[in-house]
């Protein structure tokens, strides 16, 4: 129940929906119950044998029965109507009353369902907003440990299950029990003995239903987890379709997906069997109960031990047959509740996952970049694996600093510290003398442009991809950024120019074209700091030259931190920093480092040999 009440908070302000829902549902139940109760006067009118069983004088002399004694109440007023207006007049009145009651019952039922649907949509909106918002705020390390498909499953499928479970449960715990109370109240008012007898067999039905739905929650958890794995395999297959085909791995990929598919199908079938078994069991038990009531009540009437009239007895049976409907709805809802709670727990996992990096309460907002970036005795580790150790470095304003060194030396980690994708374990990273932990991330990142080794483009137009961080940019600004990135000419050569769709992840463009679009995106915001992470390593020679020229244009009059795969591209850097095993082992200009005959010279010689 703790999970359920947490999920219910997303329906706030719940009183906006709960209060009108309570009133509309209450009146819907009142008139729905009255519809069945009116069968008694209808049957009494039809079975009246064309005359009142009691004279008008006798009726006037009698005390009016209480409305809570339905049998006597209806008997009195049916006889009164027949005495005053005749059987035909009484029948018209009863039929008119039934029509009005049905109309009101359906009107209030419609209003209550409409209110509940609004609440469902409102709840879904808030849950999705909370889940997606928190996912985007999580640290990058979280996504390295989680399957993307599982996250997608939680945000889409699980949230959908949750919204129906939360609102559906509200209907079950309020509407159906209240409807049962009204039915039972009317049944007691018609015949106390019959009702007490009938209520003795209801716990038997509840016992069987509870046994059926006992394992549904665990099955729901397993099915949702398996579905998330299936989505992950699907995402990986679509992303790596070229590799799959190139290595003839289609059968392996199909088998891996199908294994989860078979497992998921088996769980769904097992859940369906239990869910579908609940309804026929409930219905069979309901009919059995009605048959028992007919036998018991018929025995009392045939032996003169009951004061019920035939019309009241038939009305009682009709009313009791409806008691099983809300009882059945409650039992059927158990499966939905179990699935919803299981899905809700998975959704709350995402919401409860706290970002490791957040703004400090007293964080200041940076308004510009005036001095430089400083690493002061910085260390960083992933678990027990130390990646950086005691790093000290100053990146002066307007200078280009290149990070080089063997793979795993800590270059990308150092770069990730600057926009606060991660925070140092020890030491400080400062900008203009401010510890980055004391400034707002939004103002910090607004000073930076990033170009990665992998060009991340969205399934949208070239124009919108360039203007991604500045959607209000004009056509002239976008074109100017594209020219700096050496992208304008090839863009104009496409079918629709800047309005050409790049496809999923930019598949309609070459690697060099995608990278130049990424550079144009970085140029457009005109940031004073550029972070370039091996931006040319995955390109052919021709594309590399075009992209490198674009990068050179990009770095003019900016503070740039560059990670380079090809060392020939960073020989003109103002400062070259050589990292090995998380430590700075050399630092200086190209010629200075060559003369030192250290690790940098060794890396240059190795790369020259490989290229030769």
Please give the order of strands across the beta sheet that includes 385-396: 385-396, 372-382, 426-431, 434-435
Phi, psi of 531 (to 5 degrees): -120, 115
**What span, in angstroms and rounded, lies between the C-alpha atoms of 516 and 455?**
9
CA 176 to CA 4: how far, in whole Å?
Answer: 19
Angle between helices 192-199 and 159-190 (to 10 degrees): 140
- Report the CATH number of the 2-352 domain: 1.20.1560.10
Helix residue ranges per DSSP H, 425-540: 441-445, 462-466, 475-484, 488-492, 511-524
Those residues whose C-beta lies under 8 Å from the C-beta of residue 7, and which sit 6 or more positions away, are: 123, 127, 162, 165, 166, 340, 344, 347, 348
User: Contact 341/334 with Cβ under 8 angstroms?
Assistant: no
* Beta strands 583-588 and 575-580, pairing class: antiparallel
Identify the burial level of 145 via C-beta atoms within 10 angstroms of its C-beta, where 0-12 means exposed, 13-18 middle and 19 or more buried.
exposed
Distances 158 to 3, 154, 222, 266, 348 between C-alpha atoms, Å? 14, 5, 12, 19, 10
The phi, psi pair for 515, rounded to 5°, reads -65, -40
Q: Is 466 exposed, middle or buried (0-12, 13-18, 19+ CB in 10 A)?
A: buried
Cα dihedral 558, 560, 564, 566 in deg (nearest 10): 30
Q: Is 377 helix (H, G, I), strand (E, B) or coil?
A: strand
Contacts of 425 (CB under 8 A, 6+ apart): 379, 380, 381
Q: Which pLDDT does position 251 carry in this prediction?
A: 82
Low-confidence residues in the chain, pLDDT < 70: 1, 44-63, 65-77, 141, 144-145, 163-168, 170-171, 200-221, 224, 238-240, 242-243, 245-248, 274-279, 281-283, 286, 305-307, 324, 327-340, 535-544, 608-612
Q: What is the predicted pLDDT for the residue at 182?
A: 83
Q: What integer pLDDT is reported at residue 418 of this predicted model?
A: 92
User: Each residue of 573-582: pLDDT tens digit?
Assistant: 899 999 999 9
Interatomic CA distance for residues 212 and 215, integer angstroms: 8
* pLDDT given at position 107: 94
Are the beta carbons of 565 and 537 closer than 8 angstroms? yes
Q: What is the pLDDT of residue 68?
A: 63
Domain extents for the chain? 2-352
SS3 state of residue 147 = coil
Helix H, strand E, coil C: the string for 290-317 is HHHHHHHHHHHHHCCCCCCCHHHHHHHH
The token pair that represents 558 in the structure block: 């900016």
pLDDT digits (tens, 9 = 90+) for 336-391: 666 667 777 777 877 787 777 888 888 899 888 888 999 999 999 887 888 999 99
E strand or H helix at 431, and its extent?
strand 426-431
């Amino acid at each position: 129940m703790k999970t359920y009440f947490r999920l219910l908070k997303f329906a706030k302000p719940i009183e906006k929906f709960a209060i009108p829902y309570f009133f509309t549902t209450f009146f819907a139940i009142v008139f729905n119950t009255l519809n069945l109760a009116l069968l008694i006067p209808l049957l009494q009118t039809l079975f009246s044998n064309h005359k009142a069983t009691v004279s008008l004088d006798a009726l006037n002399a009698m005390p009016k029965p209480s409305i809570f004694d339905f049998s006597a109440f209806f008997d009195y007023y049916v006889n009164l109507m027949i005495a005053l207006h005749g059987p035909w007049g009484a029948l018209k009145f009863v039929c008119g009353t039934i029509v009005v009651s049905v109309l009101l019952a359906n009107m209030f039922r419609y209003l209550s369902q409409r209110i509940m649907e609004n609440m469902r949509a409102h709840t879904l909106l808030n849950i999705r907003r909370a889940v997606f918002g928190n996912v985007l705020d999580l640290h990058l390390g979280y996504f390295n440990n989680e399957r993307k498909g599982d996250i997608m499953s939680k945000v889409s499928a699980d949230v959908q299950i949750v919204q129906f479970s939360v609102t559906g449960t509200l209907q079950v715990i309020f509407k159906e029990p209240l409807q049962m109370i009204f039915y039972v109240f009317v049944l007691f008012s018609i015949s106390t003995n019959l009702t007490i007898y009938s209520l003795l067999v209801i716990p038997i039905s509840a016992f069987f239903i509870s046994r059926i739905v006992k394992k549904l929650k665990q099955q729901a958890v397993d099915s949702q987890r398996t579905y998330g794995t299936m989505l992950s395999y699907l995402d990986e297959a679509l992303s790596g379709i070229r590799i799959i085909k190139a290595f003839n791995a289609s059968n392996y990929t199909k088998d891996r997906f199908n294994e989860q598919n078979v497992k998921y199908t088996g769980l769904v079938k097992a859940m369906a069997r239990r869910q579908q078994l609940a309804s026929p069991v409930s219905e069979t038990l309901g009919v059995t109960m009605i048959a028992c009531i007919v036998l018991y009540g018929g025995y009392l009437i045939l032996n003169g031990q009951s004061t019920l009239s035939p019309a009241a007895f038939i009305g009682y049976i009709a009313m009791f047959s409806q008691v099983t409907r809300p009882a059945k709805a409650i039992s059927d809802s158990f499966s939905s509740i179990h699935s919803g709670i299981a899905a809700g727990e998975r959704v709350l996992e995402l919401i409860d996952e706290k970002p490791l990096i957040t703004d400090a309460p007293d964080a200041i907002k940076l308004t510009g970049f005036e001095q430089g970036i400083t690493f002061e005795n910085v260390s960083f580790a992933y678990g027990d694996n130390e990646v950086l150790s005691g790093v000290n470095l100053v990146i002066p304003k307007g200078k280009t600093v290149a990070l080089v060194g063997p793979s795993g030396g800590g270059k990308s980690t150092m770069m990730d510290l600057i926009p606060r994708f991660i925070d140092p374990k020890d030491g400080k990273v400062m900008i203009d003398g401010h510890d980055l932990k004391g400034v707002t991330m939004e103002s910090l990142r607004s000073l930076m442009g990033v170009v990665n080794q992998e060009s991340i483009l969205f399934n949208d137009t070239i124009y919108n991809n360039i203007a991604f961080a500045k959607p209000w940019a004009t056509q002239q600004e976008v074109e100017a950024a594209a020219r700096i990135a050496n992208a304008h000419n090839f863009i104009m050569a496409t079918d629709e120019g800047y309005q050409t769709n790049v496809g999923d992840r930019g598949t309609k463009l070459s690697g060099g074209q995608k990278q130049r679009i990424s550079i144009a995106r970085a140029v457009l915001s005109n940031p004073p700091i550029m972070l370039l992470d091996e931006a040319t390593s995955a390109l052919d020679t021709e594309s590399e030259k075009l992209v490198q020229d674009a990068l050179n244009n990009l770095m003019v009059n900016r503070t740039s931190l560059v990670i380079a795969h090809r060392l020939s591209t960073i020989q003109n850097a103002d400062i070259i920093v050589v990292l090995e095993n998380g430590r700075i082992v050399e630092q200086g200009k190209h010629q200075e480092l060559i003369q030192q005959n250290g690790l940098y010279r060794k890396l240059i010689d190795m790369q020259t040999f490989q290229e030769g």
